[in-house]
Chain A
């Protein structure tokens, strides 16, 4: 039973990273300034590299090879939050998602680094140092743009309003939640969400933006159970376009 709970946890973490990494990589060559092009590209590499680390842990638990898990499942078997699969939109949309996601990711990894399941703790300890820079990047940009021109502030506020319900979907509890908490593997989504809210509130308070009142926002759930928006399957089709020409070949 515990094994299933761990697998479920690993899948949702890895799938979030892979899908968001994919979205980040779509900024390559299109960033608003060269430095941001490079930054998104760099974070995309980290995210996809992190997903590989977690898929490798899954493979160690008897799941197929990382290339098979990542490149051949259909959307209904993905456990990422809907938040990560939404198309990039304009830079304000991608920046807000980056801000909301990475602040949560940093807390998640901090907690995982003391997980009672040693393989997760080891990987999280190694990777949390990279996520620190993602957070630094997101918060710096939010502070800069969030108190700049009227257009920038309006854009960011609109994206924040649109994305907040999806961001709450990141904390959709798993069916194994109580078991993971009881065994000290993972502290549970509620705990991470509470710390995340405090953290993002602090940063938003340094800008001219307003955090939407989450008590009246229904979270966009379903991703962790394989229910996705219409955007995920086309993304996966694109990801598998070459590999499926000859899945048995070495590329």
Chain B
């Protein structure tokens, strides 16, 4: 899974004033031709900073996202679901490993990134600041949040930074299995006993607004990201991703008899665009800034894991070894 709707900082003209104009023009020409930028290539400082920020957020989302789903591994109903969920969550942690390596090629170490996560300096996907009350919540995440992740990651895998694109290609291949698993587990409940149907409908009701905010604020509200789009850091606008997602998944959700809890959701046949009740962006901002139902718990668990593992990392340290940037 993955956060999507990255928070970008607005880019300003003065950010680029310090850059060498000739090198910048060459860099932009390469990207315009569809070339990939590799770790040792020249790149503007802003490009490096924004990529670190984006890949790091993505990696954090993977390890934090492992918590609300991971908590259901020990409770999964039956061997089939249990083995699949274990493999899925393991994949997510593996994605974090790939992504931290990709971000490290830009000059920030995994240790620094994890420290920034715990200190609340870097963000992760807002959806994981909400609880998974029942087994059905974990299934809805596996299907519909992972589906959102795929929309986002497929777009980003066509971006300009080589190591990130290669990591995303591998990640997308695994995510496709997660989607199948999530869909299968939701279908079983949606077509199962009355208790199961009620469970899964309630989970959808709880998660729908998180699904709608998954791609980030509407483009009307978002900061200006033209430079980032030109540099192929940001590949599609938040609204484009959201529209594509609704196109793909609204019919699938309705097909299995679930009701989407938004009476205004419909496709405007004239514009070809989905219209819907705007989710509560004020709440989104509040939660992303730390004041959500599970922010403290998620970071608390991560901090505890880091602290409890500190002696292991220290013991593994070889004083004669030098830091080697990972291959990506």
Taking Cβ atoms with an 8 Å cutoff, the residues of A that contact B are 22, 25-26, 28-38, 41-42, 44-45, 48-49, 52, 66-67, 70-71, 90-91, 144-145, 148-149, 151-152, 155, 235, 238-239, 241-243, 245-246, 248-251
Contact = CB atoms under 8 A, between A and B. Distances in A.
B78 A48 contact: no
B311 A67 contact: no
B75 A38 contact: no
B312 A32 contact: yes
A35 B96 CA distance: 10
B316 interface: yes
A34 B315 contact: no
A52 to B, nearest CB: 5
Contacts of A31: 93, 305, 309
3 A-B pairs with least C-beta separation: A32-B309, A32-B312, A251-B77
B323 interface: no
B39 interface: no
Contacts of B82: 48
A249 B192 contact: yes
Contacts of A42: 90
How many residues of B sit at the interface, in one of the four size bands?
A: 35 or more
A33 B74 contact: no
B305 A45 contact: no
Interface in B285-328: 301, 304-305, 308-316
Most chain A C-beta atoms within 10 Å of own C-beta, residue among B67, B70, B301: B70
Identify whether the interface residues of A are mostly helix, strand, loop, or mixed: helix
Interface in B19-57: none
B145 interface: no
Contact of A32 (B66, B78, B90, B313): B313
B195 interface: yes
B323 to A, nearest CB: 15
Given A29-B305, A48-B86, A251 B78 contact: yes
Contacts of A32: 305, 308-310, 312-313
B81 interface: yes
Interface in B99-155: 100, 110, 135
Contacts of B66: 28-29
Interface of B: 63, 66-67, 70, 72-79, 81-83, 86-87, 89-90, 93-94, 96-97, 100, 110, 135, 185, 188-189, 192-193, 195-196, 199, 301, 304-305, 308-316
B308 A90 contact: yes
Given A33-B309, A148-B316, A249 B89 contact: no
A149 B314 contact: yes
Most chain B C-beta atoms within 10 Å of own C-beta, residue among A33, A66, A251: A251
A48 B79 CA distance: 8
Nearest to A51: B79
22 contacts: A26-B74, A31-B93, A32-B308, A32-B312, A34-B100, A36-B309, A37-B93, A38-B93, A41-B86, A41-B89, A41-B93, A45-B83, A45-B86, A45-B90, A71-B77, A149-B311, A149-B315, A243-B78, A246-B195, A249-B193, A249-B195, A251-B189
B79 A52 contact: yes
A152 B79 contact: no
A120 B152 CA distance: 47
A195 to B, nearest CB: 30
A90 B305 CA distance: 10
Contact of A152 (B72, B93, B312): B312
A239 B93 contact: no
Contacts of B89: 28-29, 41
A227 B94 CA distance: 38
Nearest to B63: A29
A46 to B, nearest CB: 10
Nearest to B189: A251
B311 A152 contact: yes
B299 to A, nearest CB: 13
A144 B67 CA distance: 29
A29 B74 contact: no
Contacts of B135: 242, 251
A148 B215 CA distance: 46
A122 to B, nearest CB: 20
A36 B315 CA distance: 14
B77 A29 contact: no
Contacts of B312: 32-33, 36, 91, 145, 152
Nearest to B314: A149
